Amino acid sequence: MEVRSLGFRTDLMVRRLAGSLIEDAGDHLIVRSPRHPTFYWGNFLLLAGPPAAGDLPRWLDRFAVTFPAAAHVALGVDGTEVDMATTPEWEEAGLVGQSSVVLTAEHLTAPHHPADGVISRPLRSDLDWRQAVGLRVDMAMSEGSTSDAHRSFLETTVAEARALSDRGHATFFGAFVDGRLRSYLGLVDDGGPVARFQTVETHPAHRRRGLAGDLVYRAGVHGLARPEVTTLVIVAESDGPAIGLYRALGFADRERQAQLERTPPS
Ligand SMILES: CC(C)(COP(=O)(O)OP(=O)(O)OC[C@H]1O[C@@H](n2cnc3c(N)ncnc32)[C@H](O)[C@@H]1OP(=O)(O)O)[C@@H](O)C(=O)NCCC(=O)NCCS
């Protein structure tokens, strides 16, 4: 299957570099991440288009057969402008349709608000990576997610980021305030012209002080300084807190990325 969506093409690039298995089943792709089994978007089917009316049970069966131990359902929908208005059929199956914005930039504009007293640099040491886990756990707790299972999920996610970094496929940057990591992101590429941002997050107590803006700008400039990289890709929720920041830094809306998801009951 030829994937049209730049969002999914770059997701698949990251998954491949992270060691996920990608199988072409003709009218869909199967993405498996055996070392990261509870990561929904590491274990999903990518369909060539939205499920046709009456076709959803077939895809749910396909998902269940492919991922028998999964508690979630994750169906990506290829395309660049897919209408993801939830249908009664999706709603009945407990699936929520999401449509994110894929933005790109060939050059960046420096942030309007400099991040004063902040040191932004790539993560290097064991301590840096431990702080990355700590930051992600703090963020999850602030959103009410405190389970051991979620902590273990975040540890695996950061370990995967570190492995990508160690193998030279990614640089993860941190913004440090008084020596503590308060904002974090990654930029991944496979040696081709496109680099994809990952996981832009700032500690809730340190937001709106320019940390993420500084990191996206510095990481982007670092990426574009590589001769092979011409385009930066970042994905954001259309009504989320990040999209305005990305646009102000020079990213332009390019297409929409569509997903159908059913999360396990908490
Ligand atoms: C989105 C997120 C990463 C932004 O992090 P942040 O460190 O607060 O980002 P910044 O401080 O650089 O910019 C945020 C806003 O504060 C503004 N700002 C920054 N410093 C400022 C200052 N000194 N004075 C006034 N405004 C300021 C920025 O202009 C930006 O404004 P905008 O929202 O109108 O575009 C953060 O809210 C977060 O972690 N959210 C949860 C995870 C998430 O949604 N991640 C994005 C995934 S795509």
Cα distance between the two ends of the chain: 35
| Chain segment 247-262, per-residue pLDDT in tens | 999 999 999 999 999 9
Residue 146's pLDDT is 82
Is the overall model pTM greater than 0.85, yes or no?
A: yes
Relative to the CA of 235, which ligand 1 atom is closest?
A: 48
Give residue 186's pLDDT.
Answer: 98
pLDDT band at 187 (very low <50, low <70, confident <90, very high): very high
Distance from residue 12's CA to the centre of ligand 1 (Å): 27
Q: What is the pLDDT of residue 145?
A: 84
Average pLDDT in the chain: 95
CA dihedral 114, 118, 120, 124 (to 10 degrees): -170
Token couple for 203:
């500690």
Distance CA 240, CA 99 (A): 12
In this prediction, residue 134 carries a pLDDT of 97
Take atom 47 of ligand 1 and give the residue whose Cα is closest: 200
| pLDDT surpassing 80 at residue 55 | yes
83 pLDDT higher than 80: no
Closest C-alpha to ligand 1, atom 30? 245
CA of 198 to the centre of ligand 1 (A): 16
- Closest C-alpha to ligand 1, atom 26: 208
Ligand 1: residue whose CA is nearest its atom 36? 202
User: For residue range 227-244, what is the model confidence (pLDDT) as tens digits?
Assistant: 999 999 999 999 999 999
From 173, 209, 233, 247, mutation site for ligand 1 pocket: most ligand atoms within 8 A of C-beta? 209
Query: How many percent of the chain have pLDDT more than 70?
Result: 100
**Which atom from ligand 1 is nearest to the alpha carbon of 216?**
12
Name all residues whose Cβ lies below 6 A of ligand 1. 112-113, 183, 200-202, 207-213, 236, 240-242, 244-245, 248
